[in-house]
Structure 1
Amino acid sequence: MPGYRVASGTSDPLELGRANRSPYPKGTIEMQTPAFQALGLDLTPFFPGTLNLSIAPQRFALHSPRYTFRNVHWIDGYPAEDFSFSPCHVIFHGSTYESLIYYPHPETKIGHFQNDSLIEVIAPLIKELKYGDRVDLAIDPSEVALIGVESL
């Protein structure tokens, strides 16, 4: 699904509207990579952006993510944030890509409202993948829970 495109740094300020211009001179993932690398998580093998995968009508919750980093200060002029990551696999056209679920904690991300039916994934560049394509996502159920509509 299309996202805001601030993670990859490809957002169009005119498309976002004057009030919603991205405050990030590069994409957020590229800007955050050195902070996570210093904390022991190397994001350099991945494309510096996110895949936005809809699992609607289901929702997801991270209950024991492999990595959680608290109080990450990655950009001047903004408060520190908390982030969690859980290893996963994106499967597309018979190929499997080692990836990470990327979860900026909403309680520390001012002005960032993400639907809990949308999973953000950091993956290697998958050249053939385009908006609207279907992928399979293999998750670790000991780290990530899928919640069906019946439990709402």
Structure 2
Amino acid sequence: MAEPPIRWIQGQRVEGHGVASGRDPGSPYPAGTISLQSPRFAEQGLDLSDCFAGTLNLSLAPLELRSEHPDHCFERLAWTDRHPPETFRFWRVLVRHGDCAPQAGWIYQPDPDTKLCHDQPAAVVEVLAPFLPGLEPGASISLGVDPERLWTIDGARLRARLLEFFKFRVLAAQDTFFRDFRVPHSGALDPSQLRAWLQTAWPEALALSDRDLRLCCERAWQLYGP
């Protein structure tokens, strides 16, 4: 079976919260969250023993990473008693710095819908890899990815254009505009129904996440609704 093609995505190292590695003196996890989570991942079939027990934070700004079909997905993993279980997704990647040979690593993606604190900016990707010495903030790092499962978008531009796209429709229809996209009784926005409409109305917006779509709808309602 042929290996999938590799696309290289350029990023820059940025400082993280220091919670994953335990560097933050105010963290409730002195050993670091990765050290606590890794044994649970190993139980589920993912061995991270060759990786540094902390995340490498890469900014892809102004781009944002989009992903599907992870190599591993651990749903509602209970790894601490300090907050409810979290969902984690992993993608195998290559990590390249300067003239050094690429090393195998993982994109580490806690699901933002289950992560209660320490949210990352939309343009930042967390990576687990062997220790790479001499990486100062701003250092250039490349990720070798499967482009069928990992790709980048200009999220800020798409969100701004979607908000503008909503503007005159909300002004014209007012409270009836979002009615067809809401769940009966609860009134919550149903992203699947909104996506079905966008497929015909403006398919470019489908590159945005469900979370982005919800936030754009809420913002449009605040700005232009009754």
Residues in 1 aligned to 2:18 and 2:56: alpha-carbon distance in whole angstroms: 10
Could you tell me how far apart the structure 2 residues matched to 1:74 and 1:28 are?
9
| CA displacement, residues 74-117 of structure 1 (integer Å, 9 cap, x when unaligned) | 11232100000001111112221111000000100112321120
Contact kept? 1:71, 1:82, Cα under 8 Å: yes
Find runs of 4+ consecutive structure 1 residues off by over 6 angstroms.
Answer: none
Who is 2:150 aligned against? 144
Contact 2:98/2:140 (8 A) holds in 1: no
Which of the numbers 75, 95, 104 marks the counterpart of 1:98?
104
**Rounded Cα–Cα distance in structure 2 between residues aligned with 1:127 and 1:8:** 15
* Equivalence for 1:86: 91
Map of 1:4 onto structure 2: 17
Shift of 1:145: 2.2
Residue 34 (structure 1) aligned with residue 47 (structure 2): no
**In the alignment, is the contact (CA less than 8 A) between 2:17 and 2:118 conserved in 1?**
no
Aligned to 1:117: 123
After superposition, the C-alpha distances for 1:26-51 in whole angstroms (9 at most, x for unaligned) are 11111100000000000110000011
Query: Normalised by the size of structure 2, how large is the TM-score?
Result: 0.61
Q: Which runs of 5+ in 1 are unaligned?
A: 14-20
Secondary structure (helix, strand or coil) at the match of 1:37 reads: helix
Which residue of 1 is the match for residue 218 of structure 2? none
| Contact 1:56/1:118 (<8 A) preserved | yes
Aligned residues of 1:66 and 1:143 also touching (Cα < 8 A)? no
Counterpart residue identity of residue 39, structure 1: Q
Number of the residue aligned with 2:219: none
> Is the counterpart of residue 44 in structure 1 residue 49 in structure 2?
yes
Alignment partner of 2:37: what SS? helix
* Residues 1:60 and 2:65 aligned together: yes
Select the structure that is richer in strand.
1
The unaligned stretches of length 5 or more in structure 2 are: 1-13, 160-226
- The residue type paired with residue 91 of structure 1 is R
Q: Which letter does structure 2 place at the counterpart of 1:3? A: G
Q: Helix, strand or coil: the match of 2:48?
A: coil
Question: Aligned pairs, how many?
Answer: 144
- What is the TM-score when the length of structure 1 is the normalising length? 0.89
Looking at CA atoms only, which structure, 1 or 2, has the larger radius of gyration?
2
Higher share of residues assigned helix: 2
Distance in 2 (alpha carbons) for counterparts of 1:61 and 1:103: 11
Q: How large is the RMSD of aligned CA atoms in angstroms? A: 1.3
- Quote how far apart the aligned CAs of 1:25 are: 2.8
